[in-house]
């Protein structure tokens, strides 16, 4: 592999994976937090859909437990 190929791999491909992995990792832990501390948030299309289909987050959680 040439120096250019290595540079491209590490500055484009690998760096994008590192940056994307960090975002997903942060979201994962935030979603596990208790409500009001980074977990379930109020508002937004997802919450509206859950409320419309299940009547609230507690029933949603019960259905999927």
Q: Which helix (H) or strand (E) holds 18?
A: helix 15-32
Q: What pLDDT, on a 0 to 100 scale, did the predictor assign at position 53? A: 94
Domain co-membership, 40 together with 18: no
Domain co-membership, 7 together with 25: yes
Domain co-membership, 47 together with 65: yes
Domain co-membership, 28 together with 41: no
pLDDT tens by residue, 24-38: 777 777 777 666 665
Domain co-membership, 28 together with 39: no
Q: What pLDDT, on a 0 to 100 scale, did the predictor assign at position 33? A: 67
Domain co-membership, 16 together with 43: no
Q: What pLDDT, on a 0 to 100 scale, did the predictor assign at position 52? A: 93
Buried b (16+ CB within 10 A) or exposed e, 19-47: eeeeeeeeeeeeeeeeeeeeebeeeeeee
Domain co-membership, 26 together with 53: no
Range of the domain at 40: 34-65
Mean pLDDT for 56-61 is: 87
CA distance 31 to 16: 23
């Amino acid at each position: 592999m040439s120096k250019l190929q290595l540079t491209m791999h590490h500055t484009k491909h690998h760096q994008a994976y590192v940056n994307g992995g960090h975002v997903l990792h942060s979201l994962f832990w935030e979603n596990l937090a208790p409500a009001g501390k980074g977990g379930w948030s109020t508002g937004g299309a997802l919450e509206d859909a859950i409320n419309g289909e299940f009547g609230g987050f507690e029933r949603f959680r019960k259905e999927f437990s």
